[in-house]
Amino acid sequence: MSYQVDEKGYYGDFGGAYIPEMLYPNVEELRRQYLDIMKEESFQKEFKELLRDYVGRPTPLYYAERFSKKYGTKVYLKREDLCHTGAHKINNTVGQILMAKRLGKNRIIAETGAGQHGVATATVCALMGIECIVYMGEIDIDRQAPNVARMKMLGATVIPAKSGSRTLKDATNEAIRDWINNPVDTHYIIGSVVGPHPYPDMVARFQAVISEEIKVQLKEKENRENPDYVVACVGGGSNAAGAYFHYLDTPEVGIIAVEAAGKGIDSGESAATSALGKEGIIHGSKTLLMQSEDGQITEPYSISAGLDYPGVGPMHANLFRSGRGEFISITDDAAMKAGLQLAKLEGIIPAIESSHALAIFEDRKFKEDDIVVVNLSGRGDKDLSTYIDYFQL
Amino acid sequence: MNRIKNTLAQNTKLLSIYFTAGYPEPEDTVSIIKDLEKNGIDFIEIGLPFSDPLADGPTIQESSGVALKNGMTTKKLFQQLEGIREEVEIPLIIMGYFNPILQFGVEAFCQSCAAVGIDGLIIPDLPVEEYNEKYREIFEKYGLSNIFLITPQTSEERIRFIDSVSEGFIYMVSTASVTGSTKGFTKETRDYFRRISEMKLRNPQIVGFGISDKETYGQATEFAKGAIIGSAFIKHLNSSRKQDIADFVKSIRPV
Return the DSSP state at A379. B
- Domains (range + CATH), chain A: 11-50+89-203 (3.40.50.1100), 56-87+208-391 (3.40.50.1100)
- A334–chain B nearest CA distance, Å: 32
Show which residues on chain B lie within 8 Å of chain A, measured between beta carbons: 50-52, 54-55, 57-58, 61, 65, 68, 73-75, 97-104, 124-127, 130, 148-151, 153-155, 158, 173, 176-178
pLDDT of residue B182: 76
Positive or negative CA dihedral for A55, A61, A65, A66? positive
Round to whole Å and give the CA distance between B145 and A117. Answer: 42
3-class secondary structure per residue, chain B = CHHHHHHHHCCCCEEEEEEECCCCCCCCHHHHHHHHHHCCCCEEEEEECCCCCCCCCHHHHHHHHHHHHCCCCHHHHHHHHCCHHHCCCCCEEEEECHHHHHHHCHHHHHHHHHHHCCCEEECCCCCHHHHHHHHHHHHHHCCCEEECEECCCCCHHHHHHHHHHCCCCEEEECCCCCCCCCCCCCHHHHHHHHHHHCCCCCCCEEEECCCCCHHHHHHHHHHCCEEEECHHHHHHHHHHCHHHHHHHHHHHCCC
**A chain contacts of residue B130, beta-carbon cutoff 8 Å:** 16, 18
Q: Which residues pair with A62 in a beta bridge?
A: A77
Round to whole Å and give the CA distance between A128 and A97. Answer: 8
Round to whole Å and give the CA distance between B209 and B218. Answer: 14
Nearest CA in chain B to A172: B54
Q: Which residues pair with B205 in a beta bridge?
A: B170
Q: Closest partner residue to B178 among A177, A278, A283, by Cβ?
A: A177
A280·B99 Cβ contact <8 A: yes
| Interface with chain A: mutation pick from B48, B50, B51, B104, highest number of A CBs within 10 Å | B51
Is residue A301 a contact partner of residue A308, using CB atoms and an 8 Å limit? Answer: yes
B155·A177 Cβ contact <8 A: no
| Interface with chain B: mutation pick from A8, A22, A288, highest number of B CBs within 10 Å | A22
pLDDT of residue B238: 78
Nearest CA in chain A to B147: A21
Round to whole Å and give the CA distance between B173 and B55. Answer: 11
A21·B124 Cβ contact <8 A: yes
Q: Closest partner residue to A297 among B51, B150, B154, by Cβ?
A: B51
Q: What residues of chain B score a pLDDT lower than 70? A: 1, 240-243, 255
pLDDT of residue B240: 65
B61·A21 Cβ contact <8 A: no
For the annotated catalytic residues of A, the residue numbers are 89, 111, 377
Nearest CA in chain A to B98: A281
> pLDDT digit string (tens) for B48-82?
999 999 999 999 999 999 999 999 999 999 999 99
Neighbour-count burial of A252, counting CB atoms closer than 10 A to its CB (0-12 exposed, 13-18 middle, 19+ buried):
exposed
Residue-level pLDDT, tens digit, chain A, 393 residues = 899 999 999 999 999 999 999 999 999 999 999 999 999 999 999 999 999 999 999 999 999 999 999 999 999 999 999 999 999 999 999 999 999 999 999 999 999 998 999 999 999 999 999 999 999 999 889 888 899 999 999 999 999 999 888 889 999 999 999 999 998 999 999 999 999 999 999 999 999 999 999 999 999 999 999 999 999 999 999 999 999 999 999 999 999 999 999 999 999 999 999 999 999 999 999 999 999 999 999 999 999 988 989 999 999 999 999 999 999 999 999 999 999 999 999 999 999 999 999 999 999 999 999 999 999 999 999 999 999 999 999
pLDDT of residue A93: 98
- Domains (range + CATH), chain B: 2-252 (3.20.20.70)
Round to whole Å and give the CA distance between B185 and B192. Answer: 11
**B chain contacts of residue A183, beta-carbon cutoff 8 Å:** 151, 153, 176
pLDDT of residue A182: 94
How many other β-carbons are positioned within 10 Å of the β-carbon of residue B198?
9
Round to whole Å and give the CA distance between A356 and A96. Answer: 28
CB pairs under 8 A between A and B: 107
**B chain contacts of residue A184, beta-carbon cutoff 8 Å:** 153, 176
Establish how many alpha carbons lie within 13 A of residue B239's alpha carbon, considering only the half-sphere containing its beta carbon.
8
Round to whole Å and give the CA distance between A285 and A273. Answer: 15
**A chain contacts of residue B102, beta-carbon cutoff 8 Å:** 279-281, 295
Residues 6+ apart with CB under 8 A from A388: none
Pick from B90, B98, B94, B96: nearest CA to B142: B94
pLDDT of residue B241: 62
**B chain contacts of residue A164, beta-carbon cutoff 8 Å:** 51-52, 61, 65
pLDDT of residue A261: 98
Round to whole Å and give the CA distance between A12 and A9. Answer: 9
pLDDT of residue B242: 52
Pick from A196, A204, A202, A200: nearest CA to A283: A196
> Whole-model pTM?
0.97
Show which residues on chain A lie within 8 Å of chain B, measured between beta carbons: 16-22, 24-25, 163-164, 169-170, 173, 176-177, 180-184, 278-284, 291, 293-298
**B chain contacts of residue A19, beta-carbon cutoff 8 Å:** 125, 127
**B chain contacts of residue A291, beta-carbon cutoff 8 Å:** 99, 103
Helix or strand (DSSP H, E) at A229: strand A229-233
